[in-house]
Structure 1
């Protein structure tokens, strides 16, 4: 590839990077200025419009057909390929999360990195829950059945192994049987990453976004001791 061609290719990829950051900045600043609930309403409107604009413009530029607002080649991927692509997207999401954590930790230390991490989850979890509700057509205030369904469609569900069960008293329990992050640490001979503080924020806000009546309790999460069968476990109940 000639130098000008390579420069253009790099510029295209960097335009994607800048667009992602700029979009995220708009969302984060809206949260700061107006609160998470109003920001999520704004994101739904802005995100729907932005997605349609991006798909239409890129497909037109590249000569790709659009079907029902989606790129035709993506619509017609076979199920296995689509699942593989979704998993790759989820792994990339987790990798981006990881490199940001490592970058902050390298410069500022573990404690500040955990503060940033927990703050990010307080915004991302409600966003993810809202997107899952919208895409899955889950009813508002759908209770624990809606939460169980939503948990099955998180990005984590594509790359981790989890178990979701209802107990005899009606409570919902989610157990993370295999966690990609913790498994990677085990392979390196490291102790579990102490993710409980982030997990409390993550699962509490996710459940609350699905139904504000849902209460989340941590059964155990590193640095808590846990059995070999699972890494972390969370119990959800519904306040009547």
Structure 2
């Protein structure tokens, strides 16, 4: 009997289930640690290129390996059951994933705030956006096959595919051929605070990272201007607004 077999004989099924879930957790954290360190060593743009290659090489093998163990069929590295889901279920799944993403972000913020204070939490949050916002823009560009310099039309398409877009209410106003104003009409985070009688969360510092880096990743010629974002005063019809202009 192998040493590994003797080990597994010592734990019950509940522990094995916990180990399975912890395995997924370790993969996620290790994947993120690699991405963060590569970005630190060679720059974010090159790190995103590497990450794309890693994902293409890794995800299919991982899914196929799990499929063999768990008994679900796969098709080109994707679970066949996922490919067979009806459209409305896929849309609902995307919404739930987006809510999970936002909830995870909020839990991280609150955990850091509780232990280290609001200042450190905001600093960590803003820094995370320096990586996530251009990463999300890059993923959307690839998913939609947007051109390298697609201008305002490409930005409008990309803004509609952010994770925020699936759970918040947003709109865009055409100012001209090369300029739009983007409105976050209803924000889940701010709306929840409003229901609790709390003031707006002052998210402008994060927005000043989030929106300019997203827009410039879609097209480096796009300049971002904050029209208003908490703690700024704003009308009831939107929480924040951003002006995007394509400069020649």
Name the TM-score, length of structure 2 as normaliser.
Answer: 0.93
Superposed displacement of residue 169, structure 1: 5.5
Superposed displacement of residue 166, structure 1: 1.7
C-alpha RMSD over aligned residues: 1.2
| Equivalent residues of 2:133, 2:214 under 8 A apart | yes
- Which runs of 5 or more residues in structure 1 are unaligned? none
Please state whether the residue corresponding to 2:65 is helix, strand or coil.
helix
Kindly indicate whether residue 125 of structure 2 is the aligned counterpart of residue 79 of structure 1. no
Counterpart among 12, 15, 38 of residue 7 in structure 1: 15
| Equivalent residues of 2:61, 2:77 under 8 A apart | no
4+ runs deviating over 4 angstroms: none
Please state whether the residue corresponding to 1:236 is helix, strand or coil.
strand
Counterpart among 27, 33, 37 of residue 35 in structure 2: 27
The aligned counterpart of 2:102 is 94
Counterpart among 198, 202, 221 of residue 210 in structure 2: 202
Partners of 1:15 and 1:69 in 2: how far apart?
20
The structure whose Rg is larger is 2
- Which runs of 5 or more residues in structure 2 are unaligned? 1-10
Name the TM-score, length of structure 1 as normaliser.
Answer: 0.96
Kindly indicate whether residue 238 of structure 2 is the aligned counterpart of residue 223 of structure 1. no
Please state whether the residue corresponding to 2:176 is helix, strand or coil.
coil
Please state whether the residue corresponding to 1:223 is helix, strand or coil.
coil
Counterpart among 174, 191, 196 of residue 199 in structure 2: 191
Partners of 2:126 and 2:88 in 1: how far apart?
34
Partners of 2:138 and 2:104 in 1: how far apart?
21
Counterpart among 179, 185, 189 of residue 187 in structure 2: 179
Within 5 Å, which residues of 2 pair with 1:159-170?
159-168=167-176, 170=178
Partners of 1:133 and 1:54 in 2: how far apart?
25
Q: How many residues align?
A: 238
